[in-house]
Amino acid sequence: MNINAVSKDCIGCAACMDICALGAISIHCDSEGFYKPQVDDKCINCGKCLKKCPANTSKTEKKVSEFYYGWILDDTVRKNSSSGGFFSSLANYVLSSGGVVFGAAYSNDFKSVVMESTEDVSLDALRVSKYCQAFSNGMHNKIADHLKKGRKVLVVGTPCQIASLRLRFANNENLLLVDFFCGGIAPVSAYSNYIEYLEKCYKSKVISVNMRDKSLGWNLPKIRVKFENGKVYSKRYQFDYYCHYFYGKNIKNLPCLTCKFTNHTDADITIGDFWGYKSANVSNDGKGISLIAINTENGKIALDCVKTQLQLYSLDEKYAKYAYRGKDNNTQIIKQRNEFMEDVKKHSFVYAAKKHDFRYGSFGVLLKILIRKVVRK
């Protein structure tokens, strides 16, 4: 038996490729554009890959013990982070002790997302949410090398990526695993097609992408794309093809719609946006508030080490629920998603976006919002 046995549940973490000593596994995009392993004839069916595969494990509900909300005191870093910049406080702490930080960065052409470390890119490049599946890039073996040398390692990734790292490395006091309250990931095919479309519209290369631009405030995020010719594309999510469909369900990976990590985390710490701020009567200055869940003793120690960098408050668990996205496994959503992805496969993301409910562009979305308001009255 090899990794092919779990292909339909595969989340593309590439743990299998890194663990295979024979080099029999490589990672490629499947027909929808999600990263998946391919096994070649060097495989001897030893089953090692399956043992380290998070899709091959069953998960029971696991409660987190302590919740906090807060933000980093450094205002510039806070502004340049998705939420309250809690990730950066952990990164500062690990880097100042001679450690390494792994996270997601855009590729040089901004057409894909790659798991990189501060050995190769700046901490700035790892900041901010990228709404596309990240290519693992041999991350598991790189982490193993750093841990062997006794270095501290911080990894921030999706709950499934973090589950794969926990399977490989178990509990190691030098390894701090952080995941986020994840709403699912989109395929590189859709994302790269969209960037190419913008380049065509603006007749220029993309030189930066920010899908959590806070110019209108953290709770009114915008996508902001800069081009070589100095032009800037900036839109609220509901008026942008990519963000509209990313926040809908249409371009999520199928295993994300039935995600088994929604109620189970293998991370030491889970981070997210504190969308429960209104219910908890917390004032919002528009700069971003992080939600922080401490899941392990290792996580507790890390939080103690970064407290001086933060404005931090403890929080009742009931206000954390706003960060969670429920599962989207109802048959209507899956049917819609599959029809949309068929068009992405046959044509392109932009073709599918124009054809489906975004077909009237911003006007169509405005019309929909108006109709919804009238119906609610």
Q: What is the contact surface with ligand FAD in residues (CB under 6 A)?
A: 81-88, 103-104, 113, 126-132, 134, 156-158, 180-183, 185, 271-273, 290-291, 323, 325
* Residue closer to ligand FAD (CB basis): 39 or 291: 291
* Residue closer to ligand FAD (CB basis): 52 or 78: 78
* Residue closer to ligand FAD (CB basis): 250 or 290: 290
The span from the CA of 36 to the CA of 107, in Å, is 19
* Cα 312–Cα 316–Cα 317 angle in degrees, nearest 5: 110
Length of the chain: 377
Nearest distance, CB of residue 150 and ligand FAD, angstroms: 23
Nearest distance, CB of residue 322 and ligand FAD, angstroms: 8
Nearest distance, CB of residue 194 and ligand FAD, angstroms: 15
The tokens for 118 are 């501060």
* Residue closer to ligand FAD (CB basis): 129 or 164: 129
* Residue closer to ligand FAD (CB basis): 185 or 303: 185
Nearest distance, CB of residue 5 and ligand FAD, angstroms: 25
- In the bound state, the residue with its beta carbon closest to ligand FAD is 103
Closest alpha carbon to 266 in 293, 301, 289: 293
Half-sphere exposure of 242 (CA within 13 A, CB side): 28
Closest alpha carbon to 34 in 109, 135, 128, 115: 135
The span from the CA of 258 to the CA of 265, in Å, is 15
Nearest distance, CB of residue 211 and ligand FAD, angstroms: 9
Count the helix, strand and coil residues of the chain and give each as a percent rounded to the nearest 5: 40, 20, 40
Asked if 78 contacts 290 with a C-beta cutoff of 8 angstroms, the reply is no
